[in-house]
Amino acid sequence: MSQYNYERTGTNLQESILHPSNVKPATFGKLFSRNVDASIYALPLLIPNLEVAGTRRNVLYVATMANTVYAFDADNPAQAEPLWSTNLGTPAKGDSWIGPLTHGILSTPFIDVPSNTLYTVTMQRKGPDANLFVHAIDIVTGKQKYNSPQLLTFPFAGAETLTNVPGALQRVGLLMRDDTLYLAFGNIVPDPKDQHWSQEGFVQSFNARDLSQRLAVFQSTPTGRKGGIWQAGRGIASDAAGNIFIATAGGFYDGKTNFGSSVLKFAPRTLKMLDWFTPNNHEFLFLENIDMSAGGVSLIPNSNLLLAGGKEGVIFLINRENMGKLEGGAGSTGPIQRFKATTGCGQKDCAQTLGTAFLGSEKKGRLFVWDRLDALYAYDMVNGKFVTKPSAISKEKPGMNGGPSVSANGTDMASAIVWGASTQSKKNGGLAPGTLRAFLASDISQEIYNSDQNGARDALGDFTKFAPPVVANGKVYVPTQSKAVVVYGLLCGNDVTAKVQVQAGGRGAIENGIQVVQVSVKNTSPHAIGGPFDIAVDSLPPSDSVANATGTTTCAAPAKSPVVRAAAAPLWLAPGASFNTTVRIKTNEAIQPKLRILTGHAASAARQ
């Protein structure tokens, strides 16, 4: 799902390969791209160890603004063709803000792994109309399922149902939980002559196993105006009880039926509103288009806290069991904290977002905030509150950014990296070159890598606004408007020999000049290790070679050692799990080979 988890923290805590010590221009860079048919706004999604087309592999799913969904091999540079692709309908016309050529799949899909189902929403052109459809797709075959597609309808004033929604935004990342699918919308306009002032927000829930069954509908401003839900693409957040949380854009607020400029909490399935928070300057935010939906909602793990922020650059820390309703109103407890986290555009509308990622817990954590026209900031959380003086500030102030996104090995700050994409362009639409950036999470004033440092090798392509990099299994997947997902990773492979137990057969008999060495590798670390796995054979005598070598090591010292791909190894080696492979050495005298275990499908093996 988008932002890695139900809390939408923007942090992947299962990254054991990438580390500040190996993310640098000499050892990290662009590996390959996966080309598609249109620009990409939805975040790419990765499913590990899935059997597709008869082979078990890590699979990358990409959805485009041409309404096409692709399944790619996530690791092998040579396998550029998709495992399958399916087009879900003619996309609507794009514009300089959305598209720019076509408006198809804008939001990040949700993949339900137990049922092998990808849920997505398309914008389609049907004659003169533009309609939204919801789909359920089998991730192994690409076929539609669960009575999809279904045309999405929007009831106004109870009776009126709207289907033609040419300016609609279904940008919020999808959520599926407990067999219920949730979708959120902005810019649903009941009157085509009133495109500027209506732009309503909706949340809808569906039976995830039968999309013909809509369960509930919530409209943010049924007797008012605006209140769209877009969250710069951040997904709908959900707690352990299944309650869901969203933030609405500037709109009419009365605390009864209209809830613009608010953070809302709903019961699962029924969408009964349970609680809310609305800042005391909601009317100003509405009139100036400085909306609360420009950042979305993140839940602080293992706590009753959430954080939200919008175009004003203010972060609100809220008790999600008692959200406070209207700030300063009768009986209101208000937020736990509110503080100005960025300078950004200030109190004026410049179409910015407030990107956030959170690492840690309420006892000890760190919030990363990146606004348009501003630096990346880090704020520490100590015992349930933020220290409002930043612990570090980056040096770069790009025109726009996508991010931040954090990778870490558990909550170990020393292993953590803050990722983002940026562009120097300040234009809201059009194409502009982007840059992938990586910072030390422990001190974001230190940028450890950017793709411009070796632009000839690592160039990103055209920037996609609001789209943070996705980090998984030692690779960084970045969507672009250059019709490609660009994949970065270790150029040298990752040496995991210290994390495993390696047993090699002794000095066996030589037959026809070949010594067959049986190799067993067991994961002795507390974390799963992601493959693919290569066996490097070091310090061979000059007269010897490896008969079944698949290449040689490049910059993973010692370089130029023969490498054998462990093709039968699992793609995720769980703690305590093992695999076996064979090394075949051409030799006149049996030897005890020196072996290293490398992971990553980059240039650890220079293919022969």
d(CA 200, CA 264): 15
Nearest to 489 by CA among 503, 470, 464, 508: 470
10 Å CB burial of residue 151 (0-12, 13-18, 19+) is exposed
pLDDT at residue number 602: 41
| Cα–Cα–Cα angle for 199, 201, 205, rounded to 5 degrees | 145
Mean pLDDT within 57-68: 96
**Which tokens hold the place of 320?**
């999600």
Q: Do 578 and 466 share a domain, yes or no?
A: no
User: Which tens digits make up the pLDDT trace of 440-451?
Assistant: 999 999 999 999
422 sits in which H/E element: strand 417-423
Mean pLDDT within 83-94: 96
319, part of any domain? yes
Bridge partners, residue 138, by sequence: 117
d(CA 512, CA 478): 49
Q: Do 417 and 508 share a domain, yes or no?
A: no
CA 239 to chain centre: 19
pLDDT at residue number 476: 98
Q: Total domain count for the chain?
A: 2
Work out whether strand 400-407 and strand 11-12 pair parallel, antiparallel, or are unpaired.
Answer: parallel
Are the CB atoms for 328 and 263 separated by under 8 Å? no
Q: Is the dihedral of CA 547, 549, 550, 551 positive or negative?
A: negative
pLDDT at residue number 409: 92
- In order, the DSSP letters of 270-299 are T--EEEEEE-TTHHHHHHTT--GGGT-EEE
Q: Do 487 and 508 share a domain, yes or no?
A: no
Are the CB atoms for 156 and 124 separated by under 8 Å? no
Higher-confidence residue of 441 and 466: namely 441
Are the CB atoms for 388 and 434 separated by under 8 Å? no
Work out whether strand 578-586 and strand 297-299 pair parallel, antiparallel, or are unpaired.
Answer: unpaired
Q: Do 325 and 436 share a domain, yes or no?
A: yes
d(CA 328, CA 280): 6
**Which tokens hold the place of 215?**
């369960």
Report whether pLDDT(542) > 70.
Answer: yes
363, part of any domain? yes
Count other C-beta atoms under 10 Å from residue 393's C-beta. 13
Q: Do 214 and 240 share a domain, yes or no?
A: yes
Q: What percent of the chain stands above pLDDT 70?
A: 96
Residue 288's pLDDT band (cuts 50, 70, 90): confident
Report whether pLDDT(167) > 50.
Answer: yes
Of 491, 511, 543, the residue that ends a domain is 491
Report whether pLDDT(579) > 90.
Answer: yes
Q: Do 259 and 404 share a domain, yes or no?
A: yes
Work out whether strand 435-440 and strand 417-423 pair parallel, antiparallel, or are unpaired.
Answer: antiparallel
Q: Is the dihedral of CA 534, 535, 538, 540 positive or negative?
A: negative
pLDDT at residue number 556: 64
d(CA 464, CA 431): 9
Maximum mean pLDDT: which of 244-248, 340-344, 574-578:
244-248
pLDDT at residue number 607: 35
Mean pLDDT within 144-151: 98
Mean pLDDT within 140-169: 90
d(CA 508, CA 589): 10
Mean pLDDT within 385-399: 94
Of 436, 469, 491, the residue that ends a domain is 491
Work out whether strand 200-207 and strand 214-219 pair parallel, antiparallel, or are unpaired.
Answer: antiparallel
**Which tokens hold the place of 220?**
């943010």
463, part of any domain? yes
d(CA 338, CA 314): 7
Are the CB atoms for 466 and 457 separated by under 8 Å? no
**Which tokens hold the place of 281?**
């300057």
Report whether pLDDT(2) > 80.
Answer: yes
pLDDT at residue number 157: 66
Of 442, 473, 491, the residue that ends a domain is 491
pLDDT at residue number 608: 30
CATH of the domain at 522: 2.60.40.290
Report whether pLDDT(467) > 50.
Answer: yes
445 sits in which H/E element: strand 443-450
285, part of any domain? yes
Quick check: helix, strand or coil at residue 201? strand
Mean pLDDT within 475-493: 94
pLDDT at residue number 169: 93
CA 289 to chain centre: 27
Mean pLDDT within 317-339: 93
Are the CB atoms for 15 and 410 separated by under 8 Å? no
4, part of any domain? no
Are the CB atoms for 246 and 184 separated by under 8 Å? yes
Dihedrals phi, psi of 538, to nearest 5 degrees = -100, 155
Q: Do 220 and 261 share a domain, yes or no?
A: yes
Q: Do 57 and 173 share a domain, yes or no?
A: yes
Higher-confidence residue of 237 and 550: namely 237
Report whether pLDDT(592) > 90.
Answer: no
pLDDT at residue number 506: 62
What DSSP designation does 300 have?
P
Look-up of token digits 């270790």:
490
pLDDT at residue number 605: 39
> What is the radius of gyration, based on Cα positions, of the chain?
25
Report whether pLDDT(400) > 90.
Answer: no
2, part of any domain? no
Within 8 A by CB and 6+ apart from 164, the residues are 129, 130, 131
pLDDT at residue number 61: 98
Mean pLDDT within 487-506: 88
pLDDT at residue number 197: 60
Report whether pLDDT(152) > 90.
Answer: yes
Length of the chain: 608
Beta-sheet strand order (sheet of 606-607): 494-495, 594-599, 533-538, 562-565, 551-552, 606-607
Mean pLDDT within 207-235: 95
pLDDT at residue number 477: 98
Report whether pLDDT(202) > 90.
Answer: yes
The average confidence (pLDDT) of the chain is 91
Residue type present at position 153: T
23, part of any domain? yes
Q: Do 424 and 437 share a domain, yes or no?
A: yes
Q: Do 143 and 31 share a domain, yes or no?
A: yes
Residue 237's pLDDT band (cuts 50, 70, 90): very high
pLDDT at residue number 77: 87
Residue type present at position 573: L
Q: Do 536 and 406 share a domain, yes or no?
A: no
Mean pLDDT within 29-54: 95
Mean pLDDT within 432-461: 97
Enter the pTM of the model: 0.92
pLDDT at residue number 158: 63
Are the CB atoms for 151 and 131 separated by under 8 Å? yes
Report whether pLDDT(82) > 50.
Answer: yes
d(CA 597, CA 494): 8
CATH of the domain at 344: 2.140.10.10
Report whether pLDDT(206) > 60.
Answer: yes
The span from the first CA to the last CA of the chain, in angstroms, equals 37
Q: Is the dihedral of CA 574, 576, 580, 583 positive or negative?
A: positive
Report whether pLDDT(196) > 70.
Answer: no
Maximum mean pLDDT: which of 119-128, 325-334, 530-539:
119-128
Mean pLDDT within 82-95: 95
Residue 182's pLDDT band (cuts 50, 70, 90): very high
Q: Does the N-terminal peptide bond of residue 558 adopt cis geometry, omega within 30 degrees of 0? A: yes
Q: Do 235 and 324 share a domain, yes or no?
A: yes
Quick check: helix, strand or coil at residue 320? coil
CA 429 to chain centre: 22
Q: Which domain holds residue 533?
A: 495-607
6, part of any domain? no
Report whether pLDDT(603) > 50.
Answer: no
Report whether pLDDT(4) > 90.
Answer: yes
pLDDT at residue number 154: 95
Mean pLDDT within 248-267: 96
